[in-house]
Chains A and B, each alone.
Chain A
Amino acid sequence: MNLLLKNARLIDPSQNRDETGLDIEIRDGKIARIGKGLKSDFDARDLKGAVVAPGFCDMHVHLREPGQEHKETIQSGLNAAMSGGFTAICCMPNTEPPVSDPFVVSFIKEKARGHLVDLAICGTMTKARKGEELAPIASLAEAGVRMISDDGSAVSNAMVMRRVFEYAKMFDLLVTQHCEEHTLTASAPINEGKISTKLGLTGWPSVAEEIIIARDILLAEYVGGVRYHAAHVSTAGSVRLIREAKARGAKVSCEVTPHHFTLTDESIETYGTQAKMNPPLRTQEDINAIIAGLRDGTIDAISTDHAPHAAHDKETDIVSAAFGIIGLETAIPIGLTQLVATGHLTLSEYIVRCSTNPRGLLGLPAIRILEGEPASMTIFAPDDRWRFAESDIRSKSHNTPFVGSEFTGRVIGTLNNGQAFWSRN
């Protein structure tokens, strides 16, 4: 890959750098020169009005392969990530079979080889995600998993969870919990509150998430030395618990999805099953708390929880429909629209939550936009107004309520591993 990027705004929080009008020459996939008014024989691309940032990383993605290739494959998922502006993603282990042994890890690695997007892998923390016995965490770590989680369900048994913490600590693996107290959420399709009451649906109460977060924080602190990460937090109470734990110095982190800082449970009445998520969409007060948490650093990362489903999984009633939406291609536009264009986060703060922090949590090398470094970049136009159309979707599945939404901010290109992908001319 040889390229000359012209007139870009370079933002690299690791160097405290935010400069406009820069040219970046990329030779053989590496950053050769950064400067103003550079001359080069390489293909030039004018990036006036666009930002060049360290490659974004989505640490919570469901790729469905092995087992449900009709929804997504590793290739189609990586392609969606690439067009969505990510240079790295981490795939969650609730596949069929689950990522409970090193063979599945090597299978996934093999399928991802040579792609523009780097694929990190999350292993399970218990065997077959049953929450009963420890998964072979040492072998999984050796095979290269970057974190462990039984995502899709929580480990209910506190003793098992204690052992997960103790055992994972030996490998410094990030322990990621899907925070759901299942006895409180049985057969609940949506948030418990005014909408569930009106519609006569069983509600998924916010406290079901907070109970597990509180328990896990206490257990992790008791065990000591282990890194705990709460996946896709959705409630004001969760943000408060994590803020308090961080203030005590606990090794606690968390992520939030774009839909949880954008939509409330009232969306059920507009979007129907496309608004059915786990954890469910909450209320405006929860969104306000999440945005405050993003601002003050309580929430470390923005992850999509990209959850592809076939059309028939969603084309049914709210009780039977599958949970989740795809997210890779809308994440950055939603973030720029909801967080940056509104002034809640600066571009630099936003980049930290989409690139620096998730990479750090996964133990991936930091990306710096410096001469001599590999070109791993996300390029986006933060002020571009556009409408997201179904034809913009590269994922195999199309389950999203955001088709037709207008965004401020758009991904232009993704550079990584000596490859360039331009989503837009």
Chain B
Amino acid sequence: MRQDLLTTEHLPAETTQTLLDRSDYYLELLKRPGRWTTPSWAMAKPPPISLRSQEGEPILKGYTIANLFFEASTRTRTSFELAERRLGADVVTLTPAVSSLSKGESVLDTVRVLEAMRLDAIVVRHASAGIPQFLADHLPEHVHVINAGDGAHEHPTQALLDAAEMRTALGALRGKHVAIVGDILHSRVARSNVWLLKSLGARVTFVAPETLMPRDAAEVFGIKTTTNLDEVLPTADAIMMLRIQLERQARGFFPSLEEYRAQYGMTPERMSRSKALILHPGPINHGIELDSETAYGERSLVLRQVKRGVAVRMAVLELLFSITS
């Protein structure tokens, strides 16, 4: 694993396992009541992977991390901020107006500004695929770049937290069947998940209408694809519902929300024909891809996914910073 987390495509399975294990550990730690104070770190068992920190000091003390969110996402941004702070880092969050980029401010200019700030890591979310890679290529080597979602490309920490929760609920993922349902075409969650789940030995099926299925997806990802949700219900161990962007209908990807729900919604009736756990990256369109009862029901991992977010991001930061030296 390199010093950046840009994609899950080449993430070795052992690294993924380490990250999932560490996120389990942090999840436990986060459950402790009271303020998160320095001594609690020192008491933590097992000790952090990194041995760089002084006894009793948070491992990222003295490091500065910038969260660069060109695209609004309160949930992901907050989750990263909490993870960074709890590891003791100094945190700056920049939300450059998206309009400044469209006005021609180049990404390279942004890089130069960031470089001048002497940062240790950058968490970036951008509507264009490839921006995190671009930053990694142009920033000095010691700056870790973490992809917090780039266009329809990847969202690796989301895939890690999904896998962590599925592993908790299902046990080892080898041989498990995960269906990812909805707007695969525009989904970075789907792309990051498919690589990660495959590396852990899971079987993945993409379910989407033909208009929202990327070309050659089965071949590119080495998985099964289908347009028929009912087909996967009996065998899926987990069903990951993707958020449908409501404006896709206006752009002609499907005829109406009613029809979408009828074909691809995880309705109570469909729930009754499946034993699968339900995941959703949020925010949910209630009554379209999922109903509230399903989203917060027994078989749903939705709220646990949110809790897991901070723990996974702590594990990622810990690992990246531990391989600096």
Residues in A lying within 8 Å of B, measured CB to CB? 192-194, 196-201, 203, 205, 272, 312, 315-320
Question: Which residues on the B side are within 8 Å of A193 (C-beta)?
Answer: 215-216
Query: Are A316 and B217 interface neighbours, CB within 8 A?
Result: no
CB of B216 within 8 A of CB of A197, answer yes
A197 close to B217 (CB less than 8 A): yes
Give CA–CA (A173, B131) in the complex, Å.
44
Which residues on the A side are within 8 Å of B106 (C-beta)? 312, 315-316, 320
Least CB distance, B61 to chain A, in whole angstroms: 33
Q: Which of B144-170 contact A (CB under 8 A)?
A: 150-154
- On whether the beta carbons of B131 and A317 are closer than 8 Å, the reply is yes
Interface centre among A194, A196, A198 (most CB of B within 10 A): A198
Counting CB contacts under 8 A, is B108 at the interface?
A: yes
For A312, the chain B residues whose CB sits under 8 A away are 106, 108
A320 and B128 CA atoms in complex are apart in Å by 8
A191 to B, closest residue via Cβ:
B215
How close is B164's CB to chain A, nearest CB, in angstroms?
23
Contact assessment for B214 and A196 in the assembled complex, using a CB-CB cutoff below 8 Å:
yes
Closest to A311 in B: B108
Do the beta carbons of A197 and B151 come within 8 Å of each other?
A: no
* In the complex, B231 has a CB within 8 A of chain A: no
Ranked nearest first, the 3 interchain pairs of A and B with the lowest CB-CB distance are A200-B152, A200-B153, A197-B214
Contacts of A205 in B (CB 8 A): 215
Q: How many residues of B contact A (CB 8 A)?
A: 28
Bound CA span A192–B214, Å: 9
- Cross-interface CB contact of A200 among B138, B151, B219, cutoff 8 Å: B151
Residues of B near A192 (CB, < 8 A) are 215
Asked if residues B217 and A201 are in contact (CB atoms below 8 Å), the reply is no
Q: B214 to A319, Cβ gap below 8 A?
A: no
Whether the Cβ atoms of B153 and A199 lie closer than 8 Å is yes
- Residues of B near A200 (CB, < 8 A) are 129, 150-154, 186-188, 191, 214
Any A CB within 8 A of the CB of B134: yes
**A316→B215 contact, CB < 8 A:** no
Closest B residue to A320 by beta carbon equals B128
B98 part of interface (Cβ distance < 8 Å): no
Contact B220 A201 (CB under 8 A): no
- B 97-150 contacts with A by CB, 8 A: 101, 106-108, 126, 128-131, 134, 137-138, 150
> Given A194, A203, A315, A318, which contacts B130 in the complex, CB threshold below 8 Å?
A318
Contact A317 B214 (CB under 8 A): no
Which of chain A's residues has its CB closest to B151's CB? A200
Residue picked from B130, B151, B186, most chain A C-beta under 10 Å: B130
Known: A193-B215, A196-B215, A315-B138. 7 other contacts (CB 8 A): A200-B152, A200-B187, A200-B191, A201-B152, A316-B134, A317-B126, A317-B130
A194 to B233: give the CA distance in the assembly, Å.
Answer: 28
Give per-residue flags for B36-68: 1 if the beta carbon is below 8 A from chain A beta carbons, else 0. Answer: 000000000000000000000000000000000
Cross-chain contact B129 with A320 (CB below 8 angstroms):
no
Q: Contact: B108 with A319, CB < 8 Å?
A: no
Pick the contact of B220: A197, A318, A320 (CB < 8 A). A197
Q: Closest A residue to B132 by CB, please name it.
A: A317
Residues on the A chain within 8 Å of B152, using CB: 200-201
A198 contacts across to B, CB distance below 8 A: 191, 220-221
Q: How far is the CA of A423 from the CA of B152 in the complex (A)?
A: 46
Among A192, A196, A197, the one with the most B-chain Cβ atoms within 10 Å of its Cβ is A197
Contacts of B138 in A (CB 8 A): 315
Q: Which of B151, B153, B219 is A194 in contact with, Cβ under 8 Å?
A: B219
Given known pairs A200-B129, A200-B153, the reply for A320 and B215 (CB within 8 Å) is no
Picked from A201, A203, A272, A316, the residue with its CB within 8 Å of the CB of B151 is: A201
Contacts of A199 in B (CB 8 A): 129-130, 153
Residues of A within 8 A of B153 (CB): 199-201
Instruction: Give Cα A319–Cα B131 distance, bound, in whole angstroms.
Output: 9
Are A203's CB and B215's CB within 8 A? yes
Q: Name the CB-closest residue of A to B111.
A: A315
CB-CB under 8 A for A319 and B220, given A192-B215, A197-B214, A312-B108 = no
**Can you sample 15 A-B contacts with CB below 8 Å?**
A194-B216, A196-B214, A196-B215, A197-B220, A200-B129, A200-B150, A200-B187, A200-B191, A201-B153, A272-B137, A312-B108, A317-B126, A319-B129, A319-B151, A320-B128
Q: Is there contact, CB below 8 Å, between A201 and B216?
A: no
In whole angstroms, how far apart are the Cα atoms of A193 and B188 in the complex? 17
With both chains docked as a complex, state the minimum distance between the C-beta of A181 and any C-beta of chain B, in angstroms. Answer: 16
- In the assembled complex, the Cα of A205 lies from the Cα of B126 at a distance in Å of 25
Contacts of B214 in A (CB 8 A): 196-197, 200
B154: nearest chain-A partner, CB-CB: A200
Q: Which residues of the other chain, A, contact B217 by a CB distance below 8 angstroms?
A: 197
Which residues of B187-230 are within 8 A (CB) of A?
187-188, 191, 214-217, 219-221
Residues of A within 8 A of B187 (CB): 200
How many whole Å from B243's CB to the nearest CB in chain A? Answer: 15
Rounded to whole angstroms, the CA-CA distance of A363 and B151 in the bound complex is: 47
Measured CB to CB, the closest approach of chain B to A155, in angstroms, equals: 24
A188 to B225 CA separation, bound complex (whole angstroms)? 23
Residues of B within 8 A of A319 (CB): 128-130, 151
- B9 to nearest A CB, angstroms? 8
- In the complex, the answer to whether B220 meets A316 with C-beta atoms within 8 Å is no
CB-nearest residue of chain A to B216: A194
Q: How far is the CB of A423 from chain B (nearest CB, A)?
A: 33
CB-based contact B191/A194 at 8 Å: no
Contact B215 A201 (CB under 8 A): no
Shortest CB-to-CB span from B250 to chain A, Å, is: 14
Known: A200-B188, A201-B152. A317 touches B215 (CB 8 A): no
Q: Judging by beta carbons under 8 Å apart, are B108 and A194 in contact?
A: no
> Which residues of B lie under 8 Å from residue A201 when comparing CB positions?
129-130, 151-153
